[in-house]
């Protein structure tokens, strides 16, 4: 009886090992062989600006349709203001990205949406490959406006893009709860990569706060 019990335990252990190995292989295949924990993303929310004021605004082409927008040179919210990030599937097969901002950013979002109805919030994100870090946020007054000449979806070389102007969200009403949703001009794989990267950045920031 003991030998039979021992044989069963060995067989069960081998089955578990095979399932674990197969699961890891499938996981690596699903993530193109990279570690998702090393992904980092940014999210920048810009307010639509006045075209006449070139000192505080720049022009960008948003989404693959290349809609032309004038945006203020500095984002009013970014990934450092986030509390949560998630991807939400709609019944029709589409999806949107949902951002929950912290208390301070919630007040800013409330203020900006209350006083700028009819304008757009333009969303920019960087989502490079694992191991590559997004460009640091520009300091105020920095003359480098490289972010403001980024086009939207795809690259001439056919390589996977690592950044883009993803959406222009019309401000219809005040957002007082800090919850911002947008449908990105991106594939679902890109959307997942953006959200994973944002969560990694948020987790890193929380660890730094504890130090």
- Average pLDDT in the chain: 79
Could you read off the pLDDT of 132-149 as tens digits, one per residue?
777 766 655 443 344 544
Tens of pLDDT, residue by residue over 58-102, are 999 999 999 999 999 999 999 999 999 999 999 998 999 999 999
Domain residue spans of the chain: 1-30, 38-210
Contact 29, 120 (CB under 8 A): no
Answer yes or no: is pLDDT of 196 > 80.
yes
Number of Cβ within 10 Å of residue 190's Cβ equals 19
Cβ neighbours for 56, distance < 8 A, ≥ 6 positions apart: 49, 72, 73
Identify the CATH class of 38-210.
alpha beta
Q: What is the pLDDT of residue 57?
A: 79
Q: What is the 3-state secondary structure (H, E, C) of 113-173?
A: HHHCCCCEEEEEEECCCCCCCCCCCCCCCCCCCHHHHCCCCCCCCCCCCCEEEEEEEECCC
Residue 54 is predicted with a pLDDT of: 63
């Amino acid at each position: 009886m003991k030998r039979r019990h021992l044989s069963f335990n060995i067989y069960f252990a081998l089955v578990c090992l095979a399932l674990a190995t197969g699961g890891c292989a499938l996981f690596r295949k699903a993530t193109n062989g990279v570690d998702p924990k090393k992904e980092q993303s940014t999210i920048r929310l810009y307010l639509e600006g006045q075209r006449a004021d070139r000192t505080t605004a720049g022009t960008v082409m948003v989404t693959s349709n290349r809609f032309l927008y004038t945006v203020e040179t500095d984002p009013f919210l970014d990934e450092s203001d986030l509390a949560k990030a998630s991807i939400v599937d709609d019944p029709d097969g589409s999806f949107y990205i949902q951002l929950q901002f912290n208390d301070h950013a919630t007040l800013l979002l409330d203020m900006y949406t209350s006083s700028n109805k009819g304008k757009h919030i333009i969303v920019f994100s960087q989502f490079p490959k694992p191991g590559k870090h997004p460009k640091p946020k520009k300091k105020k007054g920095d003359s480098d406006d490289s972010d403001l000449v980024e086009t939207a979806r795809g690259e001439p070389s056919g390589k996977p893009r690592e950044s883009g102007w993803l959406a222009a969200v019309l401000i219809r009403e005040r957002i007082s709860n800090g919850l911002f949703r947008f449908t990105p001009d991106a594939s679902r794989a890109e959307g997942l990569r953006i959200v994973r990267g944002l969560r990694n950045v948020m987790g890193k920031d929380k660890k730094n706060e504890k130090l």
